[in-house]
Amino acid sequence: MTNDALTLRPADSADIDALDALFGRSYPVLLKPDYPPSVLVTAVPLISKAQPTLIASGTFFVVCDADEIVGAGGWTMQAPGGKPGMRGIGHIRHVVTDHRRTREGIGRRLLDHLILHAQASGMSQLHCQSTRTAVPFYQSMGFVARGEVDIELRPGITFPAEFMVRML
């Protein structure tokens, strides 16, 4: 399938069930090579849920092939975990491509859009808490790894990630 058959649009609340399904089926497959089962069994159920406030932000997008969502992601000025943002810094959020559709340019098309959208909104840099799996992808898109971080998903449940930065 070529990129020409795909559409990219802002997500809306009607997409929540389809996003939950996308995250739930793709994260376990995509992350399996880079995370031990002990991390996946506790983290995947928590990261596989669409965040209604993120979807309502106007900066979260979906890539569709006909009526099927095959990619999703966004950016916010607010940092993950509800931390306050800093002027000029955007945060890449919840980016995923359907595990059955990787290497088709879906993620690249989505991230290109997010970068342009953030830049047009006045951001001068983007921060990302990348999964270990996605580090090579983000590097290919101009992000620079700055070190591993542990994301607290719930008290006692952390998820190892790579903090990455891209200047705009």
Q: What is the CA radius of gyration of the chain?
A: 15
Q: Which of 93, 64, 63 has the alpha carbon at shortest distance from 80?
A: 93
Q: Any idea what the CATH number is for the domain that residue 18 is in?
A: 3.40.630.30
- Expressed as residue numbers, the domain containing 112 is 3-167
For the whole model, what pTM was predicted?
0.93
Query: pLDDT at position 1, please?
Result: 40
Query: pLDDT at position 82, please?
Result: 76
Distance between CA 1 and CA 5 in Å, rounded?
Answer: 7
Count of domains observed in the chain: 1
Which spans in 32-134 are helix H?
37-47, 52-55, 106-120
Share of the chain above pLDDT 70, in %: 98
CB 31 within 8 A of CB 23: no
Q: What is the pLDDT of residues 86-104, one digit of tens each?
A: 899 999 999 999 999 999 9
Share of the chain above pLDDT 90, in %: 88
Q: What is the pLDDT of residues 102-130, one digit of tens each?
A: 999 999 999 999 999 999 999 999 999 99
Query: Which residue shows structure tokens 């903090």?
Result: 163
Average model confidence (pLDDT) for the chain? Answer: 94
Q: What is the pLDDT of residues 2-47, one digit of tens each?
A: 456 899 999 999 999 999 999 999 999 999 999 999 999 999 999 9
